[in-house]
Structure 1
Amino acid sequence: MVRFLDLFKPVSRFIPEVRAPQKKVPFNARLMWTLAALIVYLIMSEIPLYGVTTGGTTDPYATLRIIFASNRGTLLELGIGPIVTAGLIIQLLAGSNIISFDRSDPEDRGLFTTASKVFSFVMVIVQASLYIVSGVYGVISTTQSVLIFVQLLAAGMVIMMLDELVQKGWGIGSGISLFIVAGITQNIWWMSFSIAPPPGGDGRSYGAIVALFQGIMGGLAPLEWIYRSGWPDMIGFLMTLVVFAFVVYVEGMRVEIPISHSSYRGYRSRMPIKLLYVSNIPVILAYAMFANIQLVGQFVWSRWNADNTNFVFNMLGMYNRTESGGMDAIGGLAYYTTSPGSLSGVAADPIRAMLYLLIVVGFCVLFSLTWLEIGGLGADQMADQLLQSGMQVAGFRRSKKPLEKLLNRYIPTITLIGGMIVGLLAATSEFFGVFGSGMGALLAVSILYQYYQTMVQEQVEDLYPFLRGALG
């Protein structure tokens, strides 16, 4: 019987790829390649799509652009959305055993990478098409549609290559992580210090800190210095600091299991199991799913349910066309997977806010538990890794079964609690207007911490090459 991955063998030779370096690239060179990829990303995020006019229209994906590292109306309209969505599909297929592969087999790993690229390319085509036909850009001609599609397709391929360039060993860390943290940093800086006045605002600048001083100098009431509905304010800024501090604290929480080396009886250490064991993966997958619900919902509504009279389609999403030409969700699954946006939105529809909170937390927990097996983080896989590295838990026989049983006491429970924490953090932070959202804070802290650890390890390996094997 032909395996699913074997279907990609004929096309693997035609898939463009970045070749891995033949030998380890020096740290400084990897840093330069990483900066080069980041600069290309930032330039692309400022180049407008030819043939698109977005001024004066609402952005239906504004709250989801954080995890997609995207920028509306530019070459990065899709951002890393197709890659994340393809990853979601691939992981679900792997979790259901439709895709089976041996992680230790180089050929299987190569086929899995090829499959991921093919799915990413297909998702670029699908998402670009849905953006165009669902009316996100308004009423456009056939020529404009073709031009926009070609631009989005080319930009998607460039982002895929940049991500592979960084991941293959030319850069540091992951291209996706790099682009996400760059987008979050841009967003927080803009919401804090932008001097441009927002359209329809109170005359003050968009940035909260700039608006604070303008309010003080303008003689406004003290409450108006720190709070303004619908725009970045000092309450949101202070909550951003609180959320970042909380995430840093939670990132440091862990359970430590004493371990020893079978060959060195005097050697003792501890294996840490972080509270956020599966890191930011669950929240990325959950919001990627919400974004695709929005995308499909808008397409279906604009084509077959513009009057909101079809019961089945209404379950997916009901919309109203705004004066600016955008689409606002007013019912269905698309409505309840969209954040109310602020405390005033929560007060206006508390049932929606509560359902949104439950949905986010529920899917974060679900994806956390699913990722244990898919990502090779379950007790079974961790026990194998410990035994293969010559480690064992102090007081236990050097055998897989007792080790797996011990790890099962901690890993599933910690994963469940961690999934609930990231879900609660992501949802409630949006209610309080946190800059970059709580999801952004979680992603930024975890990604920057990973980069810090990677850079420290790289520098230690360059200074002390004999430690390279011990550090992995």
Structure 2
Amino acid sequence: MGWKEAAEPVLTRMPAVRRPEGHVPFKRKLAWTAGILMLYFFLTNITLLGIEAGQADDLFGEFRAILAGEHMSLLQVGIGPIVTASIVLQLLGGANLLGLDTDDPRDQVLYQGLQKLLVIVMTALTALPMVFAGGFLPAQQSLTLGGFTFDHTQIQLLMFTQIFIGGVLILYMDEVVSKWGIGSGIGLFIVAGVSQRLVTGFIQPAEGGFFYNWYLILTGQMEIGSLVSGDGLYTLLMGDGGQIIALLTTILIFAIVVYAESVRVEIPLSHARVKGARGRFPVKLIYASVLPMILVRALQANIQFMGQIMYSQLGDDMPSVLGTFGPDGQPVGGFFYYTAPIYSPEDWMWWTGEVAQQAWMVMIRIGVDLTFMVIGGAIFAIFWVETTNMGPEATAQQIQNSGMQIPGFRQNVGVIEKVMERYIPQVTVIGGALVGLLAVWANMLGTIGAVTGTGLLLAVSITYKLYEEIAEEQMMEMHPMMRQMFGKE
């Protein structure tokens, strides 16, 4: 008996959100999306019951803009377990170790059940060390609720249960948006988190806010140093004062992503039976979207997560080849330092005196981060295209099923697939590598609100795609025949 037969009773019984029977009106989809978004913000504002007052270490740190959620809240783990489970499944599927045919309805159910089971397991594995290892989420020594007193261990179990429930909730919230709303829940949560940080970075009425800092500079309440000596110029351009480079980087990322989304190769199509009905199949430069970047950054986040756990357990006994850590708990040398992404200008500008590491160490770190993002972006883009039915074979089948064909070629799936193979694989690799390069560049220069370059890149691209999906939904709402042509009915 194979693993599918053994696991089928469990995987087919995993709770699932029911799919809509037929077309869901646009307004209802919008209502479901808005409702889930409100629920997400509500859950991020629920502080974990039993956590010790004060600042707890955020193991995800700078990855928070990508992994969504909120530190010390019910959504502590964010979309991390969902993304980690996707990485595992894509690697297993890419190596053909699962033996699942996604065109088979039975295997589709098994795949979805396996994904849910993996997410639940990953949620537990992520929450356990956060609560029980080190002082990442310190629990109160005692807590009284309803006349019952919890001791320290019971409070830790209570906190673990809350985080676990939050991780499961975000899994099903994502599924509700995917089936009943517009876009995907993962994309929606990333946009929500990044937008909140970006708006706060601009308008917060405290030191660190862009407009408030400039108010302090112009009124002489903030000292920036001498422009002649260079200290003042650095503060205005790169420092926490003027943040001019961060502002320019933020604007450039918006412009570059919107431009890159419009760069495409358009393959002409004509309807086989309806004379005069023509269309185009766009192969965009960022064909796989920027979502594979989540997988790359999540892989890096998991590596750093493991480093923090090991350091919390071993302390100074940790082998230096693996990593040495500073007083703030961040790696300053070894494997975990070189594999840590560049977050801001302060991480690599060694000549300013703010970086403790030598120039050669910083250059190795930049090289590793660049290699990881460019090559990883290309590889995960390929996996993403194949597992989301965007590859040449799946695309050719969709065109054939819609009754369309490529003018000048026979109406045959194999012929259409060969034409698609001229464009899709190459564009997928180029687009994935380009997005990785953009993310590292934006991180090195910094962004407003410290959302990180990857977070901003994801937010802009997801918002653009959300706009396209809304436009498509409105078009299909106005012209019901379009739903049948595109297989949405």
Common topology (TM > 0.5): yes
Answering whether residue 230 of structure 2 is matched by residue 246 of structure 1, we say no
Q: Which residue of 1 aligns with 2:460?
A: 445
Q: Which residue of 2 aligns with 1:363?
A: 376
1:296-311 to 2 correspondence within 5 Å? 296-304=306-314, 306-309=316-319, 311=321
Give, in whole Å, the separation in 1 of the partners of 2:6 and 2:37. Answer: 34
Deviation (angstroms), 1:247: 0.8
Superposed CA deviations along residues 192-217 of structure 1, whole A, max 9, x for unmatched, are: 11123xxxxxxxx2211221112111
* Alignment check: 8 A CA contact 2:303 2:336 kept: yes
Relative distance call for 1:464 and 1:266 in structure 2 (3 A) is closer
Relative distance call for 1:97 and 1:447 in structure 2 (3 A) is same
1:305-384 to 2 correspondence within 5 Å? 306-309=316-319, 311=321, 314=322, 318-320=323-325, 322=327, 326-348=328-350, 349-384=362-397
Give, in whole Å, the separation in 2 of the partners of 1:425 and 1:232. Answer: 23
| Between 449-458 and 18-27, the greater mean CA deviation after superposition | 18-27
Q: Note the aligned Cα RMSD (angstroms).
A: 2.5
Deviation (angstroms), 1:458: 2.4
Give, in whole Å, the separation in 2 of the partners of 1:251 and 1:108. Answer: 33
* Alignment check: 8 A CA contact 1:209 1:233 kept: no
Relative distance call for 1:425 and 1:448 in structure 2 (3 A) is same
Q: Which residue of 1 aligns with 2:273?
A: 263
| Aligned residue type for 1:294 | Q
Answering whether residue 274 of structure 2 is matched by residue 272 of structure 1, we say no
Answering whether residue 160 of structure 2 is matched by residue 149 of structure 1, we say yes
Answering whether residue 436 of structure 2 is matched by residue 431 of structure 1, we say no
Q: TM-score, normalised by structure 2?
A: 0.86
Where do 5+ consecutive residues of structure 2 fail to align? 140-151, 351-361
| Aligned residue type for 1:378 | G
Superposed CA deviations along residues 23-42 of structure 1, whole A, max 9, x for unmatched, are: 43332222222111111110
Superposed CA deviations along residues 70-123 of structure 1, whole A, max 9, x for unmatched, are: 211111211111111111111222111122333343332222211111111001
Deviation (angstroms), 1:248: 0.6
| Aligned residue type for 1:424 | L
Superposed CA deviations along residues 42-95 of structure 1, whole A, max 9, x for unmatched, are: 011122222334745664422211121121111121111111111111122211
* Alignment check: 8 A CA contact 1:6 1:111 kept: no
Superposed CA deviations along residues 249-281 of structure 1, whole A, max 9, x for unmatched, are: 111110112222322454433221000011123
| Aligned residue type for 2:172 | M
| Between 123-132 and 90-99, the greater mean CA deviation after superposition | 90-99
Name the SS for the 1:70 alignment partner: coil
Give, in whole Å, the separation in 2 of the partners of 1:90 and 1:467. Answer: 33
Give, in whole Å, the separation in 2 of the partners of 1:256 and 1:291. Answer: 37
Give, in whole Å, the separation in 2 of the partners of 1:267 and 1:466. Answer: 13
* Alignment check: 8 A CA contact 1:260 1:268 kept: yes
Relative distance call for 1:151 and 1:235 in structure 2 (3 A) is same
Q: Which residue of 2 aligns with 1:166?
A: 177
Name the SS for the 2:74 alignment partner: coil
Name the SS for the 1:50 alignment partner: coil
Choose from 244, 247, 250 the match for 1:237.
Answer: 247
* Alignment check: 8 A CA contact 1:301 1:308 kept: yes
Give, in whole Å, the separation in 2 of the partners of 1:157 and 1:405. Answer: 42
Give, in whole Å, the separation in 2 of the partners of 1:412 and 1:172. Answer: 27
Give, in whole Å, the separation in 2 of the partners of 1:76 and 1:229. Answer: 32
* Alignment check: 8 A CA contact 2:238 2:345 kept: no
Choose from 195, 202, 205 the match for 2:205.
Answer: 195
* Alignment check: 8 A CA contact 2:236 2:242 kept: no
Q: Which residue of 1 aligns with 2:148?
A: none
Relative distance call for 1:342 and 1:321 in structure 2 (3 A) is closer
Deviation (angstroms), 1:402: 3.8
Name the SS for the 2:436 alignment partner: helix
* Alignment check: 8 A CA contact 1:277 1:414 kept: yes
| Aligned residue type for 2:167 | G
Relative distance call for 1:22 and 1:372 in structure 2 (3 A) is closer
Give, in whole Å, the separation in 2 of the partners of 1:100 and 1:232. Answer: 55
* Alignment check: 8 A CA contact 1:383 1:400 kept: yes
Name the SS for the 2:267 alignment partner: strand
Superposed CA deviations along residues 401-446 of structure 1, whole A, max 9, x for unmatched, are: 4433332222222111101111011111111112322222221222
Deviation (angstroms), 1:453: 2.2
| Aligned residue type for 2:406 | V
| Between 330-339 and 115-124, the greater mean CA deviation after superposition | 330-339
Choose from 443, 460, 465 the match for 2:480.
Answer: 465
Give, in whole Å, the separation in 2 of the partners of 1:78 and 1:152. Answer: 7
| Aligned residue type for 1:238 | L
Name the SS for the 1:257 alignment partner: strand
Number of residue pairs aligned between Structure 1 and Structure 2: 454
* Alignment check: 8 A CA contact 1:54 1:73 kept: no
Relative distance call for 1:249 and 1:105 in structure 2 (3 A) is same
1:399-418 to 2 correspondence within 5 Å? 399-418=412-431
Relative distance call for 1:95 and 1:64 in structure 2 (3 A) is same
Give, in whole Å, the separation in 1 of the partners of 2:473 and 2:348. Answer: 46
* Alignment check: 8 A CA contact 1:258 1:268 kept: yes
* Alignment check: 8 A CA contact 2:343 2:452 kept: no
Relative distance call for 1:403 and 1:465 in structure 2 (3 A) is closer
| Between 374-383 and 73-82, the greater mean CA deviation after superposition | 374-383
| Aligned residue type for 2:220 | G
